[in-house]
Homo-oligomer: A and B are copies of this chain.
């Protein structure tokens, strides 16, 4: 049975939402969870639910890495944080995957230091699946590495390509570089250098793509630095929310609109599901030697439940093995 470590103290609504989501998760996708964090608080939350006790184990961790803390400091100073102790369980081989909705930088830092990186990879990257009109795109990096070197983006391209192939079964997916224009000459020196390196790499690099192409199904994998990726992701999430609110307001502004809203509610739900973060719950941190899933700070119980099932899927798909095979095939350092 797949064992998922859950950082019970990570996220804006922890431990309540995390514990609730974990209990739902073991039911929904038939797995085992370690709940890592303050034992008394976790026990109190668990009392609210009925579940098979053989599927849950609490691992006490006294300290919590707060959302605002500097990751490096937090990892160094709080050795007994739920994050650190949780990742140790993965490192020791007691579990198959780790999930946290806590401080993203903290998870990246702790996972990198403790689990190490896959051979040939110098920085991990967060991969996010973005829906578009016709299908999905994968964005990497969504915020693990906000100040990368061009070579790191090439490694993101390789990992993203292998990941996209693994999860969507599409051979040789197309990879684009997020830039301010399509032409090779566009962008900063960083973007130009990355373009050259990507062109020399043996992945299916199709050139620069623009912000508008993220939702246009222009290419399968979009590589960018973690600063731009983080902003992009948050802009998209927030605009989707704002548009839903505005549309509801507009539709509610006259009697026909209100009627239309009532009639359309079912369709709205089906649409919202496509863009709702809680539907998939988490994003993989690619490049670390282990399955690490990062959740949204605002993760609800539903998001946690889905992230746990997502983590279980990732373990069963053997994603890291696939990435390593791709990386091995490719003479990254020679090419760059």
Contact = CB atoms under 8 A, between A and B. Distances in A.
B215 A242 contact: yes
Contact of A178 (B231, B260, B270): B231
Interface stretch (A83-91, A194-202, A232-240): A232-240
A257 interface: yes
A112 interface: no
A268 interface: yes
A40 interface: no
B188 A147 contact: yes
Interface string A214-244: 1110000000101110111111111111110
Nearest to A236: B239
Contacts of A239: 214-215, 235-236, 239-240
A151 to B, nearest CB: 18
Contact of A261 (B132, B187, B260): B260
B238 A211 contact: yes
A271 B247 contact: yes
A318 interface: no
Contacts of A263: 256-257, 259-260, 263
A241 B217 CA distance: 13
The binding surface of chain A is classed by DSSP as helix
Nearest to A210: B234
A160 interface: no
B242 A267 contact: no
A232 B232 contact: yes
Contacts of A210: 230-231, 234
A117 to B, nearest CB: 21
Contact of A267 (B146, B183, B254, B275): B254
A143 B212 CA distance: 14
A49 interface: no
Contacts of A261: 260, 264
Contacts of A242: 132-133, 215-216
A68 interface: yes
Given A211-B238, A256-B263, 10 more contacts: A133-B242, A178-B231, A211-B233, A232-B232, A239-B240, A247-B271, A250-B267, A250-B271, A256-B266, A259-B260
27 contacts: A68-B182, A147-B189, A211-B235, A211-B237, A212-B234, A212-B235, A214-B239, A215-B235, A215-B241, A216-B242, A227-B228, A231-B231, A232-B232, A232-B235, A235-B235, A235-B236, A236-B239, A239-B239, A246-B271, A247-B271, A250-B268, A254-B267, A256-B267, A260-B261, A260-B264, A261-B264, A264-B264
